[in-house]
């Protein structure tokens, strides 16, 4: 007779929702997005369950001061389509960072999450602000280490 071991599976309602704050000033965009995606997903948690939202909330401040390495400011291009014929729009990373820095961090993190319904649920727990102020002081966010 074989010994049966039970694997730990966390329910979404019982998952601990911690709040973390990250200062994005002078941090490389990709490395910052990796740490944020792992925290949103809950991989830092010992009770990580792949199909359950068991991660915490992440507040990013100073998104306008994030750093792009190499020639990404002029060479990396973000594409979107309006839905009409010939409606492909493109924008370089430098222009997107100047116009909407919050969107650049959100796109980088979204690209590091799995392409399923769970990622659309996880990305809602990401709060990004261009400046140093954020309205989530009442949740007492701790620094993301």
Residue 24: CB partners within 8 Å, gap ≥ 6?
A: 32, 60, 61, 62, 63, 65, 66, 105
**Confidence (pTM):** 0.89
For helices 29-41 and 101-110, the axis angle rounded to 10 degrees is 60
Res 21: pLDDT: 98
Res 4: pLDDT: 75
> What residue ranges do the domains of the chain occupy?
16-69+98-143
Tell me how far apart the terminal alpha carbons of the chain are, to the nearest angstrom.
Answer: 45
d(CA 130, CA 145): 21
Res 56: pLDDT: 94
- With tokens 């601990």, the residue in question is 16
Are 6 and 128 contacting, i.e. CB atoms less than 8 angstroms apart?
no
Res 66: pLDDT: 97
Query: Along the 145 residues of the chain, how does pLDDT read in single tens digits?
Result: 677 777 777 777 677 789 999 999 999 999 999 999 999 999 988 888 899 898 999 999 999 999 999 999 999 999 999 999 999 999 999 999 999 999 999 999 999 999 999 999 999 999 999 999 999 999 999 999 7
* Secondary structure letter of residue 15 according to DSSP: S
d(CA 130, CA 62): 5
Three-state secondary structure call for residue 72: helix
CA angle 106, 135, 67 (to 5 degrees): 35
Res 2: pLDDT: 74
Res 6: pLDDT: 73
Domain 16-69+98-143 homologous superfamily, CATH = Ribosomal protein L13 (3.90.1180.10)
């Amino acid at each position: 007779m074989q010994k049966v071991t039970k694997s730990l599976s966390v329910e979404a309602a019982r998952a601990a929702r911690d709040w973390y704050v990250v200062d994005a000033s002078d941090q490389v965009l990709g490395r910052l997005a990796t740490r944020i995606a792992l925290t949103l997903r809950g991989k830092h948690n010992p009770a990580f369950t792949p199909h359950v939202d068991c991660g915490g909330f992440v507040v990013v401040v100073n998104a306008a001061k994030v750093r792009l390495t190499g020639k990404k400011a002029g060479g990396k291009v973000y594409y979107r389509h309006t839905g009409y014929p010939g409606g492909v729009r493109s924008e370089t990373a430098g222009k997107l960072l100047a116009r909407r820095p919050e969107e650049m961090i959100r796109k980088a993190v979204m690209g590091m999450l799995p392409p399923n319904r769970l990622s659309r649920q996880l990305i809602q727990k990401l709060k990004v602000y261009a400046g140093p102020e954020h309205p989530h002081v009442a949740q007492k966010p701790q620094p993301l280490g």
